[in-house]
Amino acid sequence: MELALLAAIIFVAFTVETIAGFGATVVSLALGTALFPIETLLAVLLPVNVLISGYLFTRGRFCVDLRNVFLRLLPLLFLGFVLGAFLRGVANERWLRLIFGTFTLLLAAAELYRLRRPETGARRAWPWLIAGGIVHGLFGTGGPLVVFALSRKVVEKEAFRSTLALIWLVMNVALISDLVRHRAFTAQTLGFSAFMLLPLALAIVTGERVFARVKPHAFRRLVFIGLFVAGGLVVLRAL
């Protein structure tokens, strides 16, 4: 029964990821921690996450500015990641989650408001990338802040989704390496990951159909609505 519920969560979470380019980890952890410990969930989710990130990046690889990703975005993320990993042992996790979730809600609400009026020029992304890396080091999912940062620089929906996919691919491979070092993967978690391949395939098919029909402005609105929901889920987990 627990596996069936987890499969349903995977389907919803990865449908969202296929449409928007993010959201799978936040949704899965927010809903799945009632079924499994967070360490077990991460061990199950990360191999599946790598598969969908690899698929989405391959699908839109020609839209991605690789120089920008590897020379600008990822170095800032990894700088934040190191800081977050250091803070993990000394910070109060519950309060950090509350602050992070509330901040994400406010960011998403502000951007939804901005969509109602024209843009007035380029905006800086680097502070949000470092902050996203810190959150990723703390919680294993800095997605909302990374999405917020990237949305300031990449407007076209295919490039946005594919660039996010490459970032998640690199960051999740790093996380998998850390989990392997801590022996988090077992025959059971790998079996659960294999069981999730069917809902993953269904999620990709469903998400691609929706993605193809979403207009650019509606896509940006959908991204920030997703961020708002993600922030709310983080706050609920912390309460």
Residue-averaged pLDDT of the chain: 81
How many helices (H) and strands (E) would you count in the chain? 12, 0
Of 25, 138, 128, 140, nearest in space to 77 by CA:
128
Of 2-11, 27-36, 122-131, 225-234, where does the model show the most confidence? 2-11
Query: Taking 90 as the threshold, does the pLDDT of residue 198 lie above it?
Result: yes
Q: Which pLDDT belongs to residue 120?
A: 45
Query: Taking 90 as the threshold, does the pLDDT of residue 218 lie above it?
Result: no
Mean pLDDT of 98-110: 74
- Per the document, the length of the chain is 239
Q: Which two tokens stand for residue 28?
A: 């899965």
d(CA 71, CA 171): 15
For residue 117, give the DSSP letter. S
The pTM score is 0.80
